[in-house]
Amino acid sequence: MREEEYTTKIVRVGERGQIVIPKAIRKIERIKPKDTLKITNVAGTITIKKVEKKSAEEQVFQFIENSGLTIKDWRDIKKARAQER
């Protein structure tokens, strides 16, 4: 885990609503072209966070976790579907 760094920069919004993330911040956060960012507005505070890419397996386990079912439930479903074939 890297040490927390605090950097503040002031940027101007362009005519099309675009902003440029300063190079120092892109370097600290390892933001590269084509990376995905999540922009959140909570009570007037805007945050921008880099979205880390997850493997297919991590995405499946996150889906299972968010569904409310256990991994055992999913294994049982998989087993039942295999028997149906």
CA separation, residue 29 to residues 6, 47, 69 (Å): 11, 14, 35
Q: What is the pLDDT of residue 1?
A: 43
The structure tokens listed for 84 are 């149906």
Distances (CA, A) of 31 to 39, 50, 51, 84: 14, 7, 10, 47
Total-model pTM: 0.53
Pairwise CA distance, residues 73 & 82, whole Å? 14
Could you tell me if 73 and 84 lie in one domain? yes
Instruction: Answer yes or no: do 38 and 65 share one domain.
Output: no
The pLDDT value given to residue 63 = 80
Mean pLDDT in runs of 10 for the chain (85 residues)? 69 95 90 91 91 79 79 85 84
Asked if residue 67 and residue 33 are part of one domain, the reply reads no
Q: Are residues 27 and 65 in the same domain?
A: no
